[in-house]
Each structure stands twice: as C-alpha cells, then as structure tokens.
Amino acid sequence: MKREVRRKWAGFLFVLPGLLSYLIWTLYPIIKSFLMSLYKWNINPRIPNEFVGLSNYVKLFHDDKFYTALINTLKYVIVTVPGQMIIGLLIAVLLTRGLKGQTFFRLLYYLPVITSWVVVSVLFQYLFATRGGLVNYLLKDLLHLINRDIRWLAQENTAMIPIYVLGIWKGIGWSMLIFLAGLQGIPKQLYEAARIDGANGWMLLRKITIPMLRPVIAFQTVMLTIGGFNVFLSVYVITGGGPRNSTQVLSSYMFKEAFDYFHFGYGAAIAVIFFLIVFTIAQIQRKLFKREIY
Amino acid sequence: MKKKIMDLIIYTLLFIGAIIMCFPFYYMVVTSLKESAYIFTVPPQMIPKPATFENYKTVWVEADFKLYFLNSLKITLPAVLLNVFLSSLTAYGFARFKFPGKELWFSVLIATLAVPGLLLIIPQFDMIRKVPFFMDNPLTIVLTSGIGGIAFNAFFLRGFFESIPRELEEAAELDGCGIFKTYWHIAMPLARPALATLVIMSFLGVWDDYFWPSLILRDKRDWTLPIGILGFRAQHGVQWHLLFAGTIIAILPVLIIYFMFQKYFVKAVAEGGLKI
C-alpha cells in the first residue's frame, strides 16, 4: 500500500517539470493570444493596454494586405503540396525497384530537408539573381528560352516563383522518405498477381500502388498543408514580402505588423485567424480521409 | 535485355534528379571559393579558378563568424540536453506511473501539437520583454528552446518506454534501487536509440532557429549563426563569396551529424511519420 502511494507521487514528480514549463510556455500563450487580439497593445509595457473588443478583427477584414497574404499562402499550399508529393512518389517508386545505390540516392535527395531555411533561402536568392544568376544563365544563354534576363524578384508576377521552387525542392526528400516506408508495406504478391494478369507498369501504379498508399497520401496531405501554411523564412529572406507587399504571406505579414510596427494586438488577431483557418482545413481533410488509419 | 534498358533509364532519371537536388549546394561551395571578381561572370565559373580559402578566413576572423559559431554552440548544447532530459522525465512519468488526471494531462499535451509556433510568439515575446533580465540574454534561448517541443517529444518517447519490458525495472526496484535511479540506470540506457533520434531532431531545431533568437538577442555580440548570416547580408549586400563561406560554416556541423547518424534519421522520419 505504501509503495502504491509513493509511486503515485513519483509519477507526478516525473511529469511536473515538463508539464509546468508546457503550461507556462505553450498553453498560457495560446490563451493569451486570443486575449491580446482584443486589445490595442502598447509599445511601452508600463502603459496599460486599451480594450478595443473585436475592432482588430473588423480592421483585418477590411485590410487588402491581409487578403493578399491569405491568397498568397493558399497559392503556396496549392502549388507546393502536390508538387512535393508527386515528385516524392515518383522518386520513391524508382528507388524501390531494387537497384544498387538506393541508400546513396536517398541520402542525396534528403539533403535539402535537413539544411537550414536561412541558408537555402539565401542560396535561392543568389540562384534567381537578375544579373549573373544561375537560373537566368540557364534559360537565356544555355537553353535560349528567353532573350532577356528575367527580373525574378523585382516583378510582382514572378516574385513568388522562386519561393514555390524552393518550397518544392526542399520538401521532396521528406515526401520520398515517407512514401518509401509506405511502399515497403505493400505485399509483393499483389504486383506478381497483377503482372500475370497482364497489367503494365502504369496500371500497377494506378490500380495497386496509389490505392494501397492512401493512408500515407492522406497523412502527407495533412502534414504538408499545415507546413505550407507556416511558410515564413523563405519569403522573409528572399523577397521580404515585396515588391510592394505582393509576396507577403500570413506569417510574414503577422511578423511585420507585430515586430516592425509593434502592433501586437493586430498581429495577435492575424495569428488567431491564421490558426482558425489551419485548424478548419486540417479538420476538413481529416473528415475527407476519415476511412484512412492514422 | 528489356530489363537492362529499363534499369538504365531509371538510373539516368535518378542521376538527373540527384544533380538537381545537389547542384545548388555544389554551386554554393564553388562560389565560396571564388575571388570577388568572379562571382557574377557570364558564363558563371563552375570550377573556381583561381580557387581560394581566403573567404573562409575573412568571415571567420573579420566578419565574426567565429563568435557566432561559438554562440550557437553555447546555446545549442545545453538547450538540447535540457530538452531531452525534460522530455524523457515527462515521457517516463506518463509511461510507467499512475496518478490522478494522467490521461487528461496527456491529451491536453497532444491537443496542442497542431498549433503553429507562430501563434505563440507574440505573447511569448510580451512575457519575456516584461522581465529585463531575460532580454538580450542567451540563457533565455537555452531555457525556452529547451522546453519547446516537449509535447511532441513526450509523445514520441512514451511509446518507446512502454515498449521496454517492465521486468528489468521491477527487478531493479526489488533490489532496492530507488525510482529515479531505476529510470536513470535501467530505462534510459535501454531507450538510447530513441534518445539519439531526439538529440538529432532537437539539435537541428535549435541550431537553425532564426525567428525567436533574433527577437531576443539584439546585441551583435550575442548573435547566433542564422542571425549572423542575415546580419552580414544586410550589411554587405551581395558579397556572395563571403556570405556562402559563412553559410557553409553554419551547415557543416549539421551535415556531419546527418552523415554520421543517417540510419537513425531515416528510421525516425519513417516510423515517427507513420505513427502520428
């Protein structure tokens, strides 16, 4: 009996430091976010903040820059999520054919995933530089597809492209790795049986591989969508949201309002709406993929 | 014959893919070895001629990258230790003991996994700036990075602790081993593969973090590598040869860890990915 009581306390003591720091550093800030969005926050911490009700939200719904940021974020998700998954699946399928050097290729394809966002963003800024940038050199001087250098980052209609390309390039490896694990779970007999029935490679992919991978595809869609909504550093480093705020995404716009202008209440309102959108989309996706096992 | 041609096509595709994935890195290395006159030539040099290590020396000594590197190290190592230690305590508590409200607490922990970190950063910053001691203090980054991600880590490790047979720990306790000693000397060594994975994930997270440290560490002498890289770019514009020498210094430790522990990596991503 005494041992039971002691173990109860011991368990509590084990989880206490972790739980306590979690309450202070995660749970409390979540609640605080909602509260802050109802105030006009003062830069000077000593001056009391002014309660303004929902007026931050009213302002938000009339803010063109917010809509631009929202649309850019959605576009980023729509372009990069399928982009990463299609290429990731393709590579995974090629890699599972039992050729030599699988580990080596896997290692290389995964390299961008582990490299810091700051570093690869700076790198892509250089690759897409107008004069002397590698991409323009490739398109103009090597392939002769264009006859003048494209000012990728200076024009509103092209500035998102390097950000899309970076997002896909950096995420392919992760998608590939998850698909590889999924592919290993498909029984080989399925393929053998289908081959005997005369199915070709394309049919195998469509009728066996993709249906069998449904849970993996569902999982990746949800995870990559959440990740895509969080796009921040690539925009912040490569374009800084410009030219003329045309590449601003939700997180970079929030950062700008909160930490460039110190509009903490307004920034918190953006964060709350941002959270609600991600949460809703994740829930819808979960419903759509309900049949799949997580 | 047909199979051979097929294999050849696949190899070609894989090679082209690998070149696309790795070429930007190669180009970064090449640029970091160029002299400044050669960084914007058309056609771009694919092999630096003349090649020089001077850029590395310049950023390491004159551009303070040595300082940033040491700052990054001083923050990352204790933060990772704290993070893994706290996570393992929490996970062990949930895995091995019964106490009131246990499952409720655990589900609260899990429920917030999907909350984007961005949502938290404004109130977190507001909390920190109210205490002057915490502003411009590297200790703040150690502590806050050390407790970030505990929810996910505890979730990840709990399963692992539960999969270890209980008998060993029970035997140790019967021999008079205290509860904490049992955790430290029996359970922790058995959990080594999972802990290694956690150390790597945690290291990457802290080492590469830019957003949060840049808000707290405003003094140049406290900057970490990511802040230093963007700070250098802001100051020296497009001196790419120097900038890339700096970025290579920043990713080198990550690459070394990646190539050393890539087995753990692959397992962690594949298993962790499918379990969540």
ipTM of the complex: 0.91
Cβ A25 vs Cβ B148: under 8 Å: yes
Among candidates A18, A36, A109 on the partner chain, residue whose Cβ is nearest the Cβ of B122: A36
Q: What is the pLDDT of residues A126-167, one digit of tens each?
A: 999 988 889 999 999 889 999 899 999 999 999 999 999 999
Distance of CA B87 to the CA centre of its chain: 16
pLDDT in tens, B152-186: 889 889 988 998 888 888 888 888 888 999 999 99
Query: Which tokens sit at B200?
Result: 């790597």
The residue of chain A nearest to residue B210, with distances taken between CA atoms, is: A118
Residue A39's CB: how many other CB atoms inside 10 A? 20
**pLDDT tens readout for residues A126-136:** 999 988 889 99
Say which residue the tokens 């949460």 belong to.
A279
pLDDT for res A285: 85
Tell me how far apart the alpha carbons of residues B271 and B265 are, in angstroms, rounded to a whole number. 10
Q: What is the pLDDT of residue B248?
A: 97
Q: A101 pLDDT band (50/70/90 cuts)?
A: confident
pLDDT of res. B272: 58
A28 neighbourhood in chain B, CB within 8 Å? 123
Shortest Cα distance from A246 to chain B (angstroms)?
A: 21
Token digits of residue A16 = 């206490």
Give tens-digit pLDDT for B198-223: 888 889 899 999 999 999 999 999 99
Distance CA B117, CA A131 (A): 37
pLDDT at position B133 is: 96
pLDDT value at residue A294: 45
Supply A52's token pair: 């303004």
Residues A190-220: pLDDT tens digits? 888 998 988 888 888 888 999 999 989 988 9
- Please report residues of B whose CB lies closer than 8 A to that of A221: none
pLDDT(B66) > 50: yes
The band of A45, judged by pLDDT with boundaries at 50, 70 and 90, is: confident
Picking from A178, A181, A186, the residue whose alpha carbon sits closest to that of residue A205 is A186
Q: Mean of the per-residue pLDDT values for chain B? A: 89
Tokens 């808000």 -> residue? B215
Chain A / chain B CB contacts < 8 angstroms: 249
Q: Could you tell me if B85 lies within 8 Å of chain A, comparing CB atoms?
A: no
Taking domain B54-275, whether its CATH number is 1.10.3720.10 is answered by yes
The conformational region for residue B148 under phi > 0 = left, psi -120 to 50 = alpha, else beta, is: beta
Contact B268, B244 (CB under 8 A): no
A114 with B258: Cβ contact below 8 A: yes
Residue B274: which pLDDT band, with cuts at 50, 70 and 90?
very low
* CA–CA separation, B75 and B207 (whole Å): 8
In the prediction, which pLDDT does A8 show?
83
pLDDT(A282) > 90: no
Q: A91 near A234, Cβ under 8 Å?
A: no
| pLDDT interval class at A291 (50, 70, 90) | low
Strand partners, A39: A51
- The residue among B224, B231, B232 whose CA lies nearest residue B208 is B224
Which residues in chain B are closer than 8 Å to A27, comparing Cβ atoms? 108, 112
- Secondary structure of chain B in HEC code, one letter for each residue: CHHHHHHHHHHHHHHHHHHHHHHHHHHHHHHHCCCHHHCCCCCCCCCCCCCCCHHHHHHHHHCCHHHHHHHHHHHHHHHHHHHHHHHHHHHHHHHHCCCCCHHHHHHHHHHHHHCCHHHHHHHHHHHHHCCHHHCCCHHHHHHHHHHCCHHHHHHHHHHHHHHCCCHHHHHHHHCCCCHHHHHHHHHHHHCHHHHHHHHHHHHHHHHHCCHHHHHHCCCHHHCCHHHHHHHHHHHHCCCHHHHHHHHHHHHHHHHHHHHHCHHHHHHHHHHHHHHC
Tokens of B126: 């507001």
Quote the CA–CA distance of A38 and A52 in Å, as a whole number.
6
Closest partner CB to B97 (pick from A10, A123, A181)? A10
Mean pLDDT value across chain A: 91
Residue B35, beta-bridge partner list:
none
Q: What residue spans define the domains of chain A?
A: 47-288
CATH of the structural domain A47-288, one choice from 1.10.10.10, 1.10.3720.10, 3.55.40.20, 2.70.210.12: 1.10.3720.10
Q: Cα separation of A256 and A227, whole Å?
A: 20
Residue pair B270/A178 in contact (Cβ under 8 Å)? The answer is: yes
Q: What's the token pair of residue B209?
A: 């973090």
Q: What is the pLDDT of residue B198?
A: 87
Q: Where are the domains of chain B?
A: 1-52, 54-275
Q: How far is CA A181 from the centre of its chain?
A: 21
Q: Which amino acid is at A91?
A: I
What's the pLDDT score for residue A198? 87
How close B260 gets to chain A, by Cα (Å)?
Answer: 11
| B59 CB-side CA count, 13 A | 27
> With bands split at pLDDT 50, 70 and 90, how would you rate the model's confidence at B271?
low
Distance of alpha carbon A293 from alpha carbon A134, whole angstroms: 44
- Spatial contact of B217 and B142, defined as CB atoms under 8 Å apart: no
Average pLDDT over residues A252-270: 94
Q: Which of B135, B113, B139 has its CA nearest to residue B276?
A: B113
Nearest-Cα distance to chain A for B93, in Å, is: 5
Distance separating alpha carbons of residues B107 and B99, to the nearest angstrom: 14
Residue B112's pLDDT band, with cuts at 50, 70 and 90, is confident
